A and B are shown apart, each in its own frame.
Chain A
């Protein structure tokens, strides 16, 4: 378990470098990646299944991301993209491709569908937490109000 936490943090940091994140944010990126993985493992301990576990892990990651973005005064994208990586269902992906070419269609459908459900859980986690108002994430004492700019939304 400890090993996994270290691995998720280090993996997140490695990918932060790959996406050109400035070095100053590595520690925060790694911590968020590890926190997400910890939540995922904790949720797996109770029987709610991997999809919900990923959903709650995503929620934790995005909450931390938004706090970190306000605290470090930088775009949330930096922490979000890297922090989500440990949750990507790479293994499901592998098995789906494998079952497909070996003509094990029932197994393919099962794994492929599980992978899609996990991706949807990640999507919903991101959308729900980004819906929360910005002021929730402002730390006390740093309440410099962000200027609100009205711009027309277009398709």
Chain B
């Protein structure tokens, strides 16, 4: 089934296999894969190249690997992997690679190393594409919340401006909590502004649509799946991440509502 297992000849080769497995795990974890997928992929790569002694311990922000004879470990490595934004294309690519390794398409570990380097350098979508997508997404989700055409146009604009803020200010310079509080404030501010200049008639769908790009979908879904898989530590960390972001957005919205209230004397459209 395994396309002919390859026996590693030297200790040197065994190290390279373990390193390659760790790099694959690194890419997966960094881009928002579940813990079980990371462990499974690393295990598969090691088994295929005949390294049967690899042991992995994967957390949501780090991988610990040891290898070699059980009595005398010759390989030990710890990698800290800070949580980054998700990019699914890299997960798909590593998944594809792991399938192909299993089908025996990669004779030597050199090819795997080269392929992993290629995946690491894969370019995601350009900033303007992401900004546009955020606007389009906000606009269409506004429809689902019962918004009319003008509301959706307002949500579209808010989504675009919000993502410019996310890419240029929040992600590179601010912590998650502060970044999302200001993000929440920004959405309400933009929606109130477009309401007052006459674009859009109902605030609720406008704002609901515009907060969608901030919703921590990856952290939430992965948190659930990790907990369901029994990876409680990582699952709990990811859920905490999602809950914190949700709360931060809500606080930001609330702050802006309060400011608006005190300025207009308690009238909310």
* B91 proximal to A (CB < 8 A): yes
Please indicate the chain B residues that have their CB under 8 angstroms from the CB of A145 in the complex: 1
Indicate with 1 or 0, residue by residue over A90-131, a CB within 8 angstroms of chain B CB atoms.
110111111011100000000000000000000100110011
A74 lies within 8 A of B257 (CB): no
CA–CA, A25 to B40, complex, Å? 23
A20 lies within 8 A of B86 (CB): yes
Nearest-CB distance from B269 to chain A (Å)? Answer: 11
- Closest partner residue, chain B, to A9 (CB atom): B140
Given A19-B86, A90-B209, residue A84 in contact with residue B221 (CB < 8 A): yes
Please indicate the chain B residues that have their CB under 8 angstroms from the CB of A130 in the complex: 225, 228
CA–CA, A93 to B141, complex, Å? 14
Of the listed stretches B16-24, B29-37, B70-78, B106-114, chain A binds B29-37
* B205 proximal to A (CB < 8 A): yes
Nearest-CB distance from B74 to chain A (Å)? Answer: 21
CA–CA, A153 to B229, complex, Å? 9
Which of B44, B209, B213, B225 interacts with A126 by CB under 8 Å?
B225
Please indicate the chain A residues that have their CB under 8 angstroms from the CB of B255 in the complex: 101
- Interface residue tally on A, bucketed by range: 35 or more
Please indicate the chain A residues that have their CB under 8 angstroms from the CB of B250 in the complex: 93, 96-97, 100
Of the listed stretches B127-135, B168-176, B193-201, chain A binds B127-135
Which of A22, A85, A151 interacts with B88 by CB under 8 Å?
A22
* A57 proximal to B (CB < 8 A): no
Indicate with 1 or 0, residue by residue over A1-32, a CB within 8 angstroms of chain B CB atoms.
00110011011001111111110010000000
Which of A18, A22, A77 interacts with B32 by CB under 8 Å?
A77
* B241 proximal to A (CB < 8 A): no
Interface size on B, residues (CB 8 A): 72
A17 lies within 8 A of B133 (CB): yes
A88 lies within 8 A of B215 (CB): yes
Indicate with 1 or 0, residue by residue over B235-269, a CB within 8 angstroms of chain A CB atoms.
00000000000100110011101100100000010
CA–CA, A123 to B238, complex, Å? 14
- Closest partner residue, chain A, to B136 (CB atom): A14
A126 lies within 8 A of B224 (CB): yes
* A44 proximal to B (CB < 8 A): no
B253 lies within 8 A of A77 (CB): no
Of listed B87, B246, B250, residue having the most chain A CB within 10 A: B250
Please indicate the chain A residues that have their CB under 8 angstroms from the CB of B229 in the complex: 153
